[in-house]
Structure 1
Amino acid sequence: MLAVLGVTAPIFILIALGFLSVRGGLIDRGQIRGLGAFVINFALPALVLRALSERSLAEVLDGPYLLAYALASLAVFAGGLAVARWLRGQDLSASAILAMGMAVPNSGFIGYPIVAMVLGPTAALAMALGMLVENLLMIPLALVLAEIGQQSAASGRALVRETALRLLRNPMIAAIALGLLLSLLELRLPPLLFRVVDMLAGASAPVALFVIGGTLYGLRPRGMWADVGQTALGKLVLHPLALLLAFLLVPDIDPQLKVAGLLFASAPMMSIYPILGLRFGLEERCAASLVAATVLAFVTISTLIGVLGQAGYLQT
């Protein structure tokens, strides 16, 4: 247990430091948003670019891993949508946003720092592969369904176009595309540019954790325990279990990528989850789920690392 805490405790100490810094007035929420923008627009794209450009295309486009990750995420999303829509009587918009929280982890702010501490360089590659599924499949699917639930089919089609344009302007997607191109052409970044990218990439993990802590301050669950319970259970338990099943069904996946995938899937939902829910009047539900899942993740991720260590899949 002490070995597990040696891995997870620094992660959550940095999160707590961000939380206490905002609570104590050392840094305000506007500055936290600025740090978050730095991570999303510069540090994480640099990290992904570095990871992809240093590998061959065959290593980067790991078809079996992408298939397993997509199948597991879609299965959890579909199950969450069905439970919310038909068993609990939620409308389509609320059901789609709730299901997205169950199926899309916080890969950059929480998942990557944890996996990097456990596995090292494999974390960046697994994050890039996971973000392909999350940004090109899961998030657009959820937003389109949520929009269709409120408006006409034409508005849904308009949202598809708008989502596609936003993805093209997304620095993370641009970094993935550039990294894949460099990998395809077997080119390497010039030494000077590589050093800049490397310095930005090195800042991603600690700043990301500090930001998630600062973001959590002021978010409090308010009588939404059914939504919170379903979303947290789906994200922290069902998503990694579904991915484990997918790994058993899909052959030829690197064991290190399997461990990385399970750890990424066990991370709580992305920190912009309340922002995405805001368009549909669901920001309070999303914020409550984010708070609960992030707190519970300390226990669930520590437990998963302990189990993986006992099973001999990593050194804890």
Structure 2
Amino acid sequence: MLEIAAIITPIFLLIGVGFMAMRLSILSYEQMQGVGRFVLYIALPALLIRAITQNPLEEVFNVTYLLAYGLGSLGVFGLALGYTVMLKKQPLTTGSISALGMSVSNSAFSGYPVAVMIIGPPAANFLALNMLIENLLIIPLALILAEAGSQAGRGVMKSLQKTLKQLAKNPILIGLFIGVLIAITDIHLPKPVTQAIDMLATAAGPAALFAIGGTLYGLKIRGVMGEVSQIVTGKLVIHPLGVLICMWLIADNDALLTAGALLFASAPMASIYPLLGQRYGMGNVAAGTLMAGTLMSFVTISVIVGLMTYFDVLA
């Protein structure tokens, strides 16, 4: 257990540093947003370019991982949507945003920093795959359904077109495209360029954790504990379980794929979740969920890492 704590504690200490930087007014809200934008628009694309160009494409784009993690996430999304809309009789918009919170991890800001400390360089490959699943499948699906619910079934095609335009400007997907283009064409970048990319990629994990801590400062849970606890349970317990089942069925007991998938699935919900929730009238629920989910993930990730160690998944 002490070995697990030694791995997990530095991650949450960096989150705490970001929180205290805001608490002590070392950085302003706008400055902390700048750190987040640096991670999203510069460091993470550099990380993905490095991951894709340093390994053969057939190793990076692992079809087994894509299929297993994608089906696991999609299955949890479907279950959450059905539970919220059909059993709890909530609107489609509410169900879509709730399902999004349960099935999309904060892969870039939380999942990758944890995974790289535990499984090392392969974490960057898994990050690239998760970005594809989340940005091309789960998030667009949730937004289209939420938009359809808010418009009572009208304007679905318009929502789809708007979503596709946003995806085309997504810096993560642009980084993936550049990395694939370099790998396919076998372009040899000048050494100063590759060194700059390496430096930016190395900064992605620590800066992401710092930004998460700053984001948590000031978030409050106001009378929404029921909804928050439901989404947090779905994200930190049901999502990893769903992904584990699909990995067990599809990945043929591949220890590395299973470890990577579980570490990313056990991360809390995406940091953009409160922004999307606010857009559809769930601002307080989404903000409270992000705060509670991030804090609770300290416990759940520790448990999951402990179980993987016990069952020799991390051997």
The alignment's TM-score, normalised by the length of structure 2, stands at 0.97
Contact kept in structure 2, 1:53 and 1:187, CA below 8 Å: no
* Aligned-partner Cα distance in 2 for 1:163–1:253: 36
Question: How much has 1:276 moved relative to structure 2?
Answer: 1.0
- Asked whether 1:51 is paired with 2:57, we answer no
Q: Which residue of 2 aligns with 1:68?
A: 68
Contact kept in structure 2, 1:122 and 1:257, CA below 8 Å: no
Bigger mean CA offset, 306-315 vs 144-153: 306-315
For the residue of structure 1 that corresponds to 2:126, the secondary structure is helix
Contact kept in structure 1, 2:69 and 2:243, CA below 8 Å: yes
Contact kept in structure 1, 2:251 and 2:258, CA below 8 Å: no
How do 1:201-216 and structure 2 match up within 5 A? 201-216=201-216
Q: Which residue of 2 aligns with 1:137?
A: 137
Q: Which residue of 2 aligns with 1:105?
A: 105
* Aligned-partner Cα distance in 2 for 1:97–1:274: 10
Name stretches of at least 5 consecutive residues in structure 1 with no aligned partner. none
* Aligned-partner Cα distance in 2 for 1:204–1:253: 30
Q: Provide, for residues 83-139 of structure 1, a one-character-per-residue CA deviation record: whole Å limited to 9, x for no partner.
A: 111222211101100100000000011100000000110110001001100000000
Q: How many residues align?
A: 315
Question: How much has 1:227 moved relative to structure 2?
Answer: 1.1
* Aligned-partner Cα distance in 1 for 2:64–2:197: 29
Contact kept in structure 1, 2:255 and 2:314, CA below 8 Å: no
* Aligned-partner Cα distance in 2 for 1:232–1:150: 24
Q: Provide, for residues 162-217 of structure 1, a one-character-per-residue CA deviation record: whole Å limited to 9, x for no partner.
A: 11111111111011112122222333433121111111111111110010001001
Contact kept in structure 2, 1:274 and 1:283, CA below 8 Å: yes
Q: Which residue of 2 aligns with 1:9?
A: 9
Q: Which residue of 1 aligns with 2:276?
A: 276
Identity of aligned residues (%): 45
Bigger mean CA offset, 20-29 vs 263-272: 20-29
* Aligned-partner Cα distance in 1 for 2:253–2:70: 14
* Aligned-partner Cα distance in 1 for 2:28–2:134: 30
Q: Provide, for residues 249-277 of structure 1, a one-character-per-residue CA deviation record: whole Å limited to 9, x for no partner.
A: 11457421220110000000011100011
Name stretches of at least 5 consecutive residues in structure 2 with no aligned partner. none
Contact kept in structure 1, 2:258 and 2:313, CA below 8 Å: no
Bigger mean CA offset, 244-253 vs 4-13: 244-253
The alignment's TM-score, normalised by the length of structure 1, stands at 0.97
* Aligned-partner Cα distance in 1 for 2:51–2:204: 13
Question: How much has 1:222 moved relative to structure 2?
Answer: 1.1
* Aligned-partner Cα distance in 2 for 1:234–1:138: 15
Question: How much has 1:58 moved relative to structure 2?
Answer: 1.1
Contact kept in structure 1, 2:111 and 2:264, CA below 8 Å: yes
Bigger mean CA offset, 239-248 vs 250-259: 250-259
Question: How much has 1:25 moved relative to structure 2?
Answer: 1.0
* Aligned-partner Cα distance in 2 for 1:187–1:73: 35
Q: Which residue of 1 aligns with 2:300?
A: 300
Contact kept in structure 1, 2:116 and 2:123, CA below 8 Å: yes
Aligned Cα RMSD in Å?
1.3
Q: Which residue of 2 aligns with 1:250?
A: 250
Q: Provide, for residues 10-46 of structure 1, a one-character-per-residue CA deviation record: whole Å limited to 9, x for no partner.
A: 0000101111110111111111101000000000110
